Amino acid sequence: MAGFAKGLYHRTYTADKAAGNLCAEWAERLGLGTDVVVGIGAMDAHMGAVGGQIEPYFLSKVMGTSTCDMLVAPVGEMQGKYVRGICGLVDGSIIPGMIGMEAGQSAFGDVYAWFRDLLAWPIRHIVNGGGLEAAIEKIIPELSRQAMQLSPEGLGEMSVDWFNGRRTPDANASVKGSITGLSLGSDAPRIFYSLVESTCFGARAIVDRFIEQGVPVKGLMGLGGIPQKSPFIMQMLADVFNMPIRISRTTQACATGAAMFAATAAGIYDKVEDAMQVMGHGFEREYIPDEKKVPLYEERYRSYLRIGSFLEELGRAGG
């Protein structure tokens, strides 16, 4: 790394600060005045966490094709703490004055889309006719409806969600996903159930890592398309975590967060927390763990971890 740092800046600024004002050229192009304040930028998901009204020690999960999991904690409470195996831990990266921590899964909704496309392959390649793609789009909702009738008790199928490698904890792009415990009784809803369960277990592994490293997780917040579209997946998350999960009402969390930072940079609010309080959309619903299913998922989560360890060993052995 010798010489690399010489080309980097030495000062950083949080997103609630103004970078300056709009220059004359762009003011003319946009039909605005040069008194318009330009704020410091930030990562989209980090602004999304603010738009979703993140709170200290509540994991904010942006869930779509993949996930971005974010947690904030006061700087004074994080002295001497560093969470091993996550994506980053940065002072002021999400909320100024707090330590922002990021983790995530490299595949979440992409796992469900892969299974849908797998089931739809013969339809797409053999069947012709209008309305085909519209019918294929109904596969996941119908699988979810059927899977909701199943129980983790006695389910033989078990999946590991590393279909696109593993982002956290402990990044490893070379690991592979799996589906085990298959029999001639394994139908599409049962396999789909195990795939959804595996993504929830992958999310649980992230929270466990925070807790193991001395950073508590008090609850969950869900943002993005999947939390608003799939009660089945959100209820399973609550059961697997044994924690309530609140679902943000906003469908544009990143844009909302950017507006909150802009309002703070422009001096309308003294700090971004004040902007969050006034401009936030709140939560549309909360999923509460099902006490009967919590111990069943706990047992299956241990099996998930054992299979994951076996897959890693198999990969190291060149299998």
pLDDT tens across the length of the chain (319 residues) = 778 888 888 888 999 999 999 999 999 999 999 999 999 999 999 999 999 999 999 999 999 999 999 999 999 999 989 999 999 999 999 999 999 999 999 999 999 999 999 999 988 887 766 778 888 999 999 999 999 999 999 899 999 999 999 999 999 999 999 999 999 999 999 999 999 999 999 999 999 999 999 999 999 999 999 999 999 999 999 999 999 999 999 999 999 999 999 999 999 999 999 999 999 999 999 999 999 999 999 999 999 999 999 999 988 877 5
* 2 within a domain of the structure (yes/no): no
- 122 and 200 co-located in one domain: yes
Bridge partners for 62 per DSSP: 68, 223
- 35 and 97 co-located in one domain: yes
Q: Which domain holds residue 115?
A: 109-207+292-316
- 273 and 307 co-located in one domain: no
| SS3 category, 92 | coil
* 224 within a domain of the structure (yes/no): yes
Count structural domains, the chain.
2
Contact 135, 311 (CB under 8 A): no
* 62 within a domain of the structure (yes/no): yes
* 234 within a domain of the structure (yes/no): yes
How far is the CA of 7 from the CAs of 10, 11, 84, 90, in angstroms? 10, 13, 28, 21
Sign of the torsion formed by the C-alpha atoms of 197, 200, 202 and 208: negative
Q: In the Cβ-directed half-sphere of 111, how many Cα atoms lie within 13 Å?
A: 32
* 274 within a domain of the structure (yes/no): yes
- 231 and 202 co-located in one domain: no
Q: At what angle do helices 188-212 and 139-147 cross, to 10 degrees?
A: 80
- 201 and 297 co-located in one domain: yes
Please give the Cα distance from 267 to 263 (Å, whole number).
Answer: 6
- 150 and 33 co-located in one domain: no
Q: Which two tokens stand for residue 216?
A: 């508590």
- 128 and 196 co-located in one domain: yes
Output the CA angle 162-168-137, nearest 5 degrees. 45
- 301 and 200 co-located in one domain: yes
